[in-house]
Chains A and B, each alone.
Chain A
Amino acid sequence: MKRILSGPVTGSYGLIVLTLWGWLLSIAAHAVIETYEFSSPALEVRYHTLSQELRCPKCQNQNIADSNAPIARDLRVVLVEQLEAGQSDEQILAFMVARYGEFVRYRPAVDRNTAVLWWAPALLIGAGLIALAFHFRGRGAAVPPALTASETAELKKLMEDDSL
């Protein structure tokens, strides 16, 4: 059977790359397509940053940029209005948090509830490093004691004994 791609190996490799590429494209295609007119490119940049950082209250694991839920659309409209009205990022986030709680931020402020979220990774890495240190130190101590003179002699004898 004739292959169109250059060979069996490159063929399957190409297929994998193609699949992965398609996969990437499908993720990008989730973003909702809408058109908003911004008075300046800077506002548009901030719109994209904020809409990706704000979480949709209805469909919980999507940001408002990706979600098709009506509430996400409403929040995008509010976001555009507030950006055009000259609100700062902090003011906009405060507006959203006042209504939907700290939940709406994918980067919540550090407080009592989110402390674990913020500090757990550092603590876990620290704990891992300490565990590793103990592990390797323990290994160093486990080296067997040196052989005594009689043991060395016996070993030597055994090594040189060709009859074994």
Chain B
Amino acid sequence: MWLIRVSNLQARRFLPLLGFGLLSVLLFRGLSLDPTALPAARLGQPFPEFVKLELQSGEAIGVADLSQRPALVNVWATWCYSCRVEHPFLLELAEAEIPIYGLNYKDDATKARAWLGQLGDPYALNIVDAEGSLGLDLGVYGAPETYVIDQEGTIVHRHVGILDARVFAADFAAWFPPVSVGATSRARKGSVAQ
């Protein structure tokens, strides 16, 4: 009886240390988590149906007009500064023949056309979503966002924020034939990002 009490007491002395240890593990894990990362509810689902105007041609387009091979859908707007930062990289991807569809999100079409005329147009098509309804169906909550759709038109990946060479290599490259992109965007980055 006496022995058990002593060992109990000794074990008890280490309880705070144990608690501290557990808390440390928990908090340390928290350091490497991204609290702004959201689950993409639309993953694995077909791209939502839509009937919208194309930005440059003014024709009505729908989900059937998206290509039969893996493509990017890039949510952008002229009011979005980060979109300007990622724009040169999108031009590179377009040069590497990766199809990119633009979703011009809650924007002014005239301004959007001027932006593309000035900075270059990487988009195979641009969906005009002035009121943001297609964005809402996709689960967009800001710009830029970039989605990958596969050859069947299923949403297979979503990235929130600026798409650059590093993100592309890590999360996007699996869906596309190997391309050498990013060589120039890294050099440009310093002059554009503020």
A57-B141, A60-B36 given; A78·B136 CB < 8 A: yes
B35→A60 contact, CB < 8 A: yes
A99→B137 contact, CB < 8 A: yes
Q: Would you call the interface of chain B mostly helix, strand, loop, or mixed?
A: loop
Which residue of B is nearest A58, CB measured?
A: B141
Interface presence of B139 (CB below 8 A)? yes
A58-B142, A71-B141, A71-B142 given; A100·B35 CB < 8 A: no
Interface presence of B11 (CB below 8 A)? no
Binds A, one of B39-47, B52-60, B95-103: B39-47
Size of the chain A interface, CB-CB below 8 angstroms: 15
Residues of A within 8 A of B38 (CB): 57, 100-101, 103
Residues of A within 8 A of B42 (CB): 98-99
Interface presence of A97 (CB below 8 A)? yes
Nearest CB in chain A: distance from B120 CB, A = 27
A101→B139 contact, CB < 8 A: yes
Alpha-carbon distance A97/B39, docked complex (angstroms):
11
B106→A70 contact, CB < 8 A: yes
Tell me the residues in window 113-157 of chain A with beta carbons closer than 8 Å to chain B beta carbons: none
Alpha-carbon distance A112/B1, docked complex (angstroms):
44
Using an 8 Å CB-CB cutoff, how does the interface string of A79-114 with B read, 1 for contact, 0 for none?
000000000000000000111111100000000000
Interface presence of A160 (CB below 8 A)? no
Q: Would you call the interface of chain A mostly helix, strand, loop, or mixed?
A: helix
Alpha-carbon distance A103/B138, docked complex (angstroms):
15
Residues of A within 8 A of B140 (CB): 71
Alpha-carbon distance A16/B166, docked complex (angstroms):
54
Interface presence of A34 (CB below 8 A)? no
B136→A99 contact, CB < 8 A: yes
Residues of A within 8 A of B182 (CB): none
Residues of A within 8 A of B139 (CB): 57, 99-101
> What is B's interface to A at a CB cutoff of 8 Å?
35-36, 38-42, 106, 132, 136-142
20 contacts between A and B (CB under 8 A): A57-B38, A57-B139, A57-B141, A70-B106, A71-B140, A71-B142, A74-B132, A75-B136, A97-B41, A98-B41, A98-B42, A99-B41, A99-B136, A100-B38, A100-B139, A101-B40, A101-B41, A101-B139, A102-B39, A103-B38
The 7 closest A-B pairs by CB, nearest first: A57-B141, A101-B41, A101-B39, A99-B139, A71-B141, A58-B141, A100-B139
